[in-house]
Amino acid sequence: MDGQQVRDWESRCIEEQAPACTAACPVHVDMRGMMELLRKGDFKAAHALFARIIPFPAIIGHICDHPCESACKRSAAGAAIQIHQLERACVDAGFAAAPFRTNKQLAKKRIAVVGAGLSGLCVAAELGVKGHTVVLFEARPEALARLRTYDPQILPGTAIDADLARFANTSVEFRLNEEIDLASADGLAALADQFDAIYLGLGPDPQPALAGVLALAADGHLAIDALTFATSHPKVFAGGSQRYGAGYSPINSLQDGRYASLSIDRMLQGASLTANRDTQGAQPSRLYVNTSRYAPLPAVIPADPERGFSQAEAIAEATRCFPCHCLECVKVCPFLEHYGAYPKRYIREIYNNETIIMGPRKTNRLIDSCTLCGLCAAVCPEDLAMGEVCLSARQGMTAKGKMPPSHHDFALRDLAFSRSDAFVLARHQPGFERSTVLFYPGCQLAASSPEHVENTYAHLCATIDGGVGLLLGCCGAPAQWAAREDLFTESREAFASEWRRLGQPTVITACSSCFRMFTDHQPEVPVQSLWSVLERVGLPAGASPRAATLAIHDPCTTRHETAIQGSVRRLLDQRGVAAVELDGPGLTTCCGFGGLAEFANPAVADKIVDRRIGQNDADYLTYCAMCRDNFARRGKRAIHLLDLVFPTAGDPAARPDPGFSMRQENRGRLKRRLLHDLWEETVNEPADRIELIVSAAVHADLERKLILHDDVRQTIVHAETSGEKLIAPKTGHFIASHRAVSITYWIEYTVEDGRYVIHRGYSHRMQLG
């Protein structure tokens, strides 16, 4: 994985961005966290969270001008959360903020603060807590004199007293009734001699007298840098109402004190004043919230507006907070949900997994559990595709030889079977020397419904002039998903050489994964979907076999193939079949087979299928054999589009999943039957296959363990020819074992009339002896 690419992916997941309320708050109070505590009725913890950011919680809790509320996303579903009233409920619940605690700092500096308003006191609190010596000069007889002019109904004097009490026992020295004429010789210049830094919180009035001492703005106020709160004097910082004039904003004054303190601290340490300040102050939030998911809820109205929310009312109001999260992808993807986090975190973990030097690679299975279906990108406001991330990580794993062999081994052996002589077949139509088109049914349709391959081929031959070739094989998708570039290249080259030999005809695919593989990776091959071709050449005659409505599941590989989706719907119309959409083709899901997820993580793949099949009670209609069979495997009635094209008696929606053993057998049989029926070649059935008797329960168990009947046969034949087996004297069962390449199979069986009854099977990869 390329580090730059990883950072780009990470930065696109905005789930960790601050919610709108917090972003709009000048000092970024964690309202979402407060709401979550309040909805649980934990006022104490909510108050503590508030007081962690706000040095004067009792005051701000009463008079904050709450810019957060107009940003609150709840306004799109009812009304904005009354954040300010909730803060008030928190501070009214009777918890006093603890006194400020002073850090013992080695290099203590001396700071002068002129003006004991909110911004000046905030500087005193912030720098006092850091252990500096702070001297606060105030001309009036008390601190926060301006706040004392508030109506006590709005801001009780006790709240001011409570917050000022936090300074008890700190080293902050309050020099009240001490007016400093900053312009005089004993003024700023003298302070600058005695102190390492100075903060001026001079209130709203212009300061013409300071002209010549400090730079002024055009309106006569101090010129103050909006980012650093610096003035023209390197030791002097300023803020508060001096920046805002008449429009008083307590929270802005507090913010100015906070960020001016940060600058002073940096100045004292010789650090950059401007670096890393881009999240400072109120700003829009990048966090996406799909508010349409939420039903509107009206604001809670306090029974006594003067006293504000009762605790019960506060809890009800806080419960209206969504709380804001994106997680759009996590909500639609059981894989992303399964691992308990979200893409930004996963991407970091995946990258760490790749770059780890020592210790276990903990996210291997996570990486291999993604179906590569593309749904996350379709719902993500930033188009982040976790499939790309996981596939890239898989490429890194195979390149380093760190791909766990067990994850994809079975699927790759199945691929090898489909590419072997047992299945591969490439022919012109009987009686033709050339092909105008080439039918490519794909390995899974042949595995699931060989008769549909035969019927489709016959229909294409009957309706298309100039020769319809046939090519049985596998497009190599499993190799691509497993990040086995070597096998994928082999598969592509094998296909391409047959295709060239047959005269480079247009390829007609019945499988949407094959379609994707050809369009994405073999652009030189002209390819059409069987569904578009059927729409053009017409359906064979045949009555509609069903009256009931079907729900359409588009295979995930057709997510962006609008032409194919349209053809499928028109074919349904032609067959007179009523169909409903699930979430529409653009938001379709995987059946669990994609990306080989069902082999690396069957539990996650089952969750994906189960969620999909729970969406609608109607029988599902799909046009991928793998999707249909996975639905059937999990107990959902489902048909393949070809079941409507070539209706037969019986109930195709009740057809069980053939399972892995049958899939291979079907492929082999299809080839032999086609050769025999169409090309009139004699084909030998595989010789001397021993006959197995496998109960449904044992069969299901073997399927789950990915043990094929052929593996069972090989093991028994090995035991019977070599005599190497065990006997369990009580039951008379034989126990045989055989190592085929990288897996040792164990089969317990008995023999009945020359046939082999299978009692159980299991395997391991570890080698003995």
Partner 1 sequence: MTEPTSAAPEPGLLCAKCQLPLAAGKVEASYLGNTFPVDLLRCPGCGFTYVPEELALGKMLQVEQALEDK
Contacts to partner 1 by CB under 8 A: 360-362, 364, 404-406, 695-698, 701, 723-731, 734-735, 737, 744, 746, 748, 757-760, 762-769
Residue 382 binds what, of partner 1, ligand SF4, none (CB under 5 to 8 Å, by partner type)?
Answer: ligand SF4
Residue 323 binds what, of partner 1, ligand SF4, none (CB under 5 to 8 Å, by partner type)?
Answer: ligand SF4
Of the pair 135, 385, the CB lying nearest ligand SF4 is at: 385
Q: Does residue 109 belong to the site contacting ligand SF4 (CB under 6 A)? A: no
Q: DSSP assignment of 562-586, as one string? A: HHHHHHHHHHHHHTT--EEESS-GG
Which parts of 266-325 interact with ligand SF4 (CB under 6 A)?
Answer: 321-324
Measured CA to CA in angstroms, residue 500 lies from 361, 461, 466, 493, 506 at distances of: 43, 20, 17, 10, 11
73-106 CB burial, b ≥16 within 10 A, e <16: bbeebebbbbbbbbbbbbbbeebebeebeeeeee
Q: Does residue 758 belong to the site contacting ligand SF4 (CB under 6 A)? A: no
Q: What's the min distance (Å) between Cβ of 497 and ligand SF4?
A: 32
**C-alpha span between 754 and 716 (Å, rounded):** 12
- Adjacency order of strands within the sheet including 638-640: 579-581, 550-552, 619-622, 638-640
- What does the block give as tokens for 289? 């919230």
Residue 360 binds what, of partner 1, ligand SF4, none (CB under 5 to 8 Å, by partner type)?
Answer: partner 1
| Interface region with ligand SF4, contact rule CB under 6 A, candidates 263-271, 382-390, 530-538, 624-632 | 382-390
Among 6, 18, 20, 552, indicate the residue that binds ligand SF4 (CB under 6 A). 20
Q: Cα dihedral angle (129, 135, 138, 141), rounded to 10 degrees?
A: 80
Q: What's the min distance (Å) between Cβ of 361 and partner 1?
A: 5
| Interface region with ligand SF4, contact rule CB under 6 A, candidates 12-20, 179-187, 206-214, 641-649 | 12-20
Q: Which long-range CB contacts under 8 A does 650-659 form with residues at least 24 apart?
A: 652/545, 653/619, 656/632, 657/629, 657/630, 657/632, 657/633, 658/447, 658/448, 658/629, 659/699, 659/703
E strand map for 609-723: 619-622, 638-640, 692-693
- Conformation bin of residue 383: beta by default, left when phi > 0, alpha when psi is -120 to 50: left
Q: Does residue 60 belong to the site contacting ligand SF4 (CB under 6 A)? A: no
**C-alpha span between 594 and 372 (Å, rounded):** 6
**C-alpha span between 597 and 603 (Å, rounded):** 9
- Adjacency order of strands within the sheet including 425-427: 425-427, 468-472, 437-440, 506-509, 527-529
Angle at 350 between CA 349 and CA 353, to 5 degrees: 85
Which parts of 565-594 interact with ligand SF4 (CB under 6 A)?
Answer: 590
Closest CA to 372 of 562, 521, 601, 556: 556
Of the pair 104, 730, the CB lying nearest partner 1 is at: 730
- What does the block give as tokens for 4? 């730059």
Q: What's the min distance (Å) between Cβ of 743 and partner 1?
A: 11
50-69 CB burial, b ≥16 within 10 A, e <16: bbebbbbbbbbbbbbebbbb
Of the pair 277, 365, the CB lying nearest partner 1 is at: 365
Q: Does residue 427 belong to the site contacting ligand SF4 (CB under 6 A)? A: no
Closest CA to 135 of 107, 152, 116, 118: 116
Residue 763 binds what, of ligand SF4, partner 1, none (CB under 5 to 8 Å, by partner type)?
Answer: partner 1
Of the pair 474, 716, the CB lying nearest partner 1 is at: 716
Among 47, 66, 73, 663, indicate the residue that binds ligand SF4 (CB under 6 A). 73
**Containing H/E element for 437?**
strand 437-440
Among 262, 370, 525, 692, indicate the residue that binds ligand SF4 (CB under 6 A). 370
Of the pair 303, 728, the CB lying nearest partner 1 is at: 728
Q: What's the min distance (Å) between Cβ of 331 and ligand SF4?
A: 9
* DSSP-derived secondary structure letter, 716: H
Measured CA to CA in angstroms, residue 18 lies from 23, 39, 219, 283, 686 at distances of: 6, 20, 35, 10, 65
Among 6, 18, 21, 662, indicate the residue that binds ligand SF4 (CB under 6 A). 21
Q: Does residue 366 belong to the site contacting ligand SF4 (CB under 6 A)? A: no
Residue 270 binds what, of ligand SF4, partner 1, none (CB under 5 to 8 Å, by partner type)?
Answer: none
Answer positive or negative: Cα dihedral of 556, 423, 708, 743: negative
**C-alpha span between 454 and 449 (Å, rounded):** 9
Among 380, 403, 487, 609, indicate the residue that binds ligand SF4 (CB under 6 A). 380
Chain-centre distance for alpha carbon 253: 39
Among 36, 256, 328, 643, indicate the residue that binds ligand SF4 (CB under 6 A). 328
Residue 514 binds what, of ligand SF4, partner 1, none (CB under 5 to 8 Å, by partner type)?
Answer: none
Q: What's the min distance (Å) between Cβ of 60 and ligand SF4?
A: 17
Among 13, 443, 464, 613, indicate the residue that binds ligand SF4 (CB under 6 A). 13
Of the pair 424, 597, the CB lying nearest ligand SF4 is at: 597
Residue 287 binds what, of partner 1, ligand SF4, none (CB under 5 to 8 Å, by partner type)?
Answer: none
Q: DSSP assignment of 190-229, as one string? A: HHHHH-SEEEE---SS--GGGBTTB-B-TTSSB---TTT-
**CA terminus-to-terminus distance, the chain:** 39
**H helices within 358-385, ranges in order?**
364-368, 375-379
Largest CA distance in the chain: 118
Among 81, 129, 533, 609, indicate the residue that binds ligand SF4 (CB under 6 A). 81
Measured CA to CA in angstroms, residue 625 lies from 290, 448, 642, 727 at distances of: 34, 6, 10, 42
Q: What's the min distance (Å) between Cβ of 256 and partner 1?
A: 52
Q: Does residue 32 belong to the site contacting ligand SF4 (CB under 6 A)? A: yes
- What does the block give as tokens for 375? 């749904």
Q: What's the min distance (Å) between Cβ of 746 and partner 1?
A: 7
Q: Does residue 337 belong to the site contacting ligand SF4 (CB under 6 A)? A: no
Among 1, 6, 27, 35, indicate the residue that binds ligand SF4 (CB under 6 A). 35
Among 6, 366, 367, 384, indicate the residue that binds ligand SF4 (CB under 6 A). 384
Q: What's the min distance (Å) between Cβ of 67 and partner 1?
A: 49
Residue 321 binds what, of partner 1, ligand SF4, none (CB under 5 to 8 Å, by partner type)?
Answer: ligand SF4
Q: Which long-range CB contacts under 8 A does 521-528 form with residues at least 24 apart?
A: 521/480, 521/488, 521/492, 522/492, 522/495, 522/496, 524/496, 525/496, 525/499, 528/437
Among 195, 248, 335, 620, indicate the residue that binds ligand SF4 (CB under 6 A). 335
Q: Does residue 14 belong to the site contacting ligand SF4 (CB under 6 A)? A: yes
Q: Does residue 343 belong to the site contacting ligand SF4 (CB under 6 A)? A: yes
Binding footprint of ligand SF4, residue count (CB under 6 A): 42
Q: Does residue 371 belong to the site contacting ligand SF4 (CB under 6 A)? A: yes
Of the pair 603, 683, the CB lying nearest ligand SF4 is at: 603
Closest CA to 480 of 624, 364, 596, 351: 596
Of the pair 579, 582, the CB lying nearest ligand SF4 is at: 582
Q: What's the min distance (Å) between Cβ of 412 and partner 1?
A: 15
Residue 327 binds what, of partner 1, ligand SF4, none (CB under 5 to 8 Å, by partner type)?
Answer: ligand SF4
**C-alpha span between 121 and 749 (Å, rounded):** 85
Q: Does residue 386 belong to the site contacting ligand SF4 (CB under 6 A)? A: yes
Among 198, 251, 267, 375, indicate the residue that binds ligand SF4 (CB under 6 A). 375
Q: Does residue 638 belong to the site contacting ligand SF4 (CB under 6 A)? A: no
Of the pair 81, 160, the CB lying nearest ligand SF4 is at: 81
Of the pair 326, 403, the CB lying nearest ligand SF4 is at: 326
Contacts to ligand SF4 by CB under 6 A: 13-15, 19-21, 31-32, 35, 72-74, 81, 83, 321-324, 326-329, 333, 335-336, 342-343, 370-376, 379-382, 384, 386-387, 590
